[in-house]
Amino acid sequence: MILTVIDGIPLYSTIEEALQWGNSRMLTGYHTHVYEGQTGYMGGSSHSTATNTSSSTSSSSGGGGGGY
């Protein structure tokens, strides 16, 4: 279950969900955040690793393709 989204990255209630999200984006490990008093799990060994991967993915998939 997603607890919230931080910087475009989902924060999950279980480690397994975080690892699955990370694996699908070629990330290893997980890190934690506290949201409303509950520890949540985010894919990627650090927040900067998770957000850098997300940013590069979203910027490469956005834009372009117009005018055809």
pLDDT computed for residue 11 by the predictor: 98
pTM: 0.75
Q: How far apart, in whole angstroms, are the C-alpha atoms of residue 49 and residue 42?
A: 11
The confidence score (pLDDT) of residue 67 equals: 55
Mean pLDDT for 6-31 is 97
Question: Which tens digits make up the pLDDT trace of 24-65?
Answer: 999 999 999 999 999 999 999 999 999 986 544 333 333 444
Distance CA 18, CA 40 (A): 9
Q: How far is CA 33 from CA 5, 9, 47, 61, 62, in A?
A: 11, 12, 9, 27, 28
